[in-house]
Amino acid sequence: MDMITDSVRSSISGFPSDIEPEYSKNFELFNEPSPVQELAEDKFDFLEIKTVEPVSESDGDNQAEANMEGFLGDIKSPNLGSGNGDRKVGMTMLPEQRKHMSYRKGGHFTMMVAGPAGTGKTTFINTLFGSDLLQESHEPVSTKKITIHQFELEENGFPLRLTAIDTPGFGQSVNNQYAWAPITKFIDNQFRLHLFQEEQPEREKLYDTRVHCCLYFISPNNSGLSHLDVASMKELSKRVNLIPVIAKSDTFSTDDLRKFKRQVKETLRLQDIKTGEFIVEQSLRDSIKDLVPFAIIGSNEYHERNDGQLVKGRKYKWGIAEIENKNHCDFVLLRDILMGKNLLDLVLSTETHYENYRRVFLYDRFKESIKNDGLSEEELQKIHASGLEEYKRFHKISLEVYEESTKGSDPVLVDKQQRMKEKFAIIVSNQEKRFKEWKKALVDKQNTFNNDIEKLHNRIVRLQDIIDHFEAGYYYDDESTYDDETCSDLDDAEEGVIASSFK
């Protein structure tokens, strides 16, 4: 639950401004059987008539069983025939109906590719579908906006709406500390957008933009994962099914590739980065965990081997790196997971994650509502007992107020606020230091002035004392108690001279 709490508190109003949707025309593929066809042929053997066996009664269960029978009535097991085919109701046609319904409706799959620039993300998408869906660019990318590409694919009569999300310019800034923030914000916004669409009165035009899978491309190098790779995959794994892949694996030798895989897998384990975290089936999660990171090669070019067979791959002086050869790379294994055997698992896992997200989102909005009302614990329990009251409380707080209360979850905004606070603290500290220096200087001047005033006062007192003695007719000898400074100010006082009285 903690891993999706942060994703609840990001704002959205339609599509973010950093998205440039792009649309393409229909493409037809005739390679692999469709996932829905496999589902219809292999996974719809669940219809089975089971009779209810009588349970041994005990004294404590008689009353409960009687109440249950009164509520449900008599549960009867129908007799659908003796197996000779003369009494069938048509239930065996349900899988076929489901198959035709799936063909009419089609499928939808959203895949995101993320990673540093130049790792072959666009080439991989073209290789995965065997068509030049995206235009490859060998020039430096000038934009850093998330780009959406939508396609209508068809294979053996089954339509698939494919959404490929590219992240150009990732990690090319001077400061890449939060380079992953726009990607995670985009993923969170799709959940929020789907939730808001479900709340609308008319949902016929509801369009699912949730991301089902994210492939993170790791640059081929001998230094392992960078800090940006670790931070990005850790945040992405909290929001989407993450699958790390090693890009351009043909740049490694066999031993170096094996060593690099172990290094990446160990880093994923130490950093607690989950792969395929939201997939429901445990065996599939374990298999993906054992296979990652996938070493892939991308190309749509065909080359002739020495035996005359055309293969897809990349040609070098030493030979051909075959894309669909499991001894050369893991492309076939990854394609089976994405488009073959486990596409529906990725889609259904997104639904499971969305339900968790929706529960946390609505509960946080509900808490924000009751916090403004200041309800007691007893009143809160009454609200929880009534679903209608919760619904009313949920809609009582406006969306704008809730959005304002959740702005603090943006990591970039939080970092800027922290930096501004630190900068402000330094300015305040410098000003306080200057004020202390000014205060010390003023105190020193004040002490000097007080000393001067005290000396002047003492001189006045002494001079007045001398005047009083002169007026009284007293004489002073050389052992006068007055200091030299006082005597020096007298016009007629000299050292060793006795003053005469006025007569």
In a domain, 328, yes or no: yes
Do residue 8 and residue 112 come from a single domain? yes
In a domain, 74, yes or no: no
**pLDDT tens digits for range 118-147:** 888 888 998 988 888 887 766 655 557 888
Count of domains observed in the chain: 2
Angle CA 306–308–312, to nearest 5: 90
At 318, which CATH number?
Answer: 3.40.50.300
For residues 190 and 209, give the distance between their C-alpha atoms in angstroms, rounded to a whole number. Answer: 6
In a domain, 497, yes or no: no
Do residue 213 and residue 311 come from a single domain? yes
Structure token pair of residue 208: 């699912």
In a domain, 84, yes or no: no
In a domain, 156, yes or no: yes
For residues 114 and 183, give the distance between their C-alpha atoms in angstroms, rounded to a whole number. Answer: 8
Rounded to two decimals, the pTM is 0.66
208-222, 262-276, 332-346, 489-503: least confidently modelled range: 489-503
Which residue has 């699958």 as its token pair? 243
Q: Which of 388, 409, 430 is the last residue of a domain?
A: 409
- Give the chain's length: 503
Do residue 197 and residue 235 come from a single domain? yes
Please report, for the chain, how many H helices and E strands are present, in that order. Answer: 16, 10
Do residue 342 and residue 398 come from a single domain? yes
Do residue 96 and residue 239 come from a single domain? yes
Q: From edge to edge, which strands make up the β-sheet containing 319-322? A: 302-304, 310-316, 319-322
Peptide bond between residue 293 and the one before it cis (omega within 30 degrees of 0): yes
Do residue 362 and residue 463 come from a single domain? no
Collect contacts of 229-234 with beta carbons under 8 A, ≥24 apart: 230/267, 230/271, 230/273, 231/177, 231/180, 232/114, 232/179, 232/180, 232/183, 233/268, 233/271, 233/273, 234/271, 234/272, 234/273
Do residue 281 and residue 192 come from a single domain? yes
One-letter amino acid at 302 equals Y
Q: Which of 409, 433, 461 is the last residue of a domain?
A: 409
**pLDDT tens digits for range 360-393:** 887 777 776 666 666 555 655 555 545 556 656 6
Do residue 227 and residue 144 come from a single domain? yes
In a domain, 251, yes or no: yes
**pLDDT tens digits for range 72-114:** 445 455 555 555 555 566 778 888 888 788 788 888 899 999 9
**pLDDT tens digits for range 253-268:** 889 999 999 999 999 9
* Highest mean pLDDT of the ranges 9-23, 136-150, 208-222: 208-222
Q: From edge to edge, which strands make up the β-sheet containing 242-246? A: 19-28, 146-155, 158-166, 107-114, 213-218, 242-246, 294-295
Beta 319-322 vs 213-218: how paired, if at all?
A: unpaired
Do residue 105 and residue 178 come from a single domain? yes
Q: Which of 379, 409, 439 is the last residue of a domain?
A: 409
Q: Are 338 and 276 in contact (CB under 8 A)?
A: no
SS3 221: coil
In a domain, 65, yes or no: no
Do residue 439 and residue 381 come from a single domain? no
In a domain, 159, yes or no: yes
Do residue 115 and residue 197 come from a single domain? yes
Which residue range(s) make up the domain with 442? Answer: 416-488
Collect all residues with Cβ–Cβ distance below 8 Å to 399 and sequence separation of at least 6: none
Do residue 302 and residue 364 come from a single domain? yes
325-334, 454-463, 494-503: least confidently modelled range: 494-503
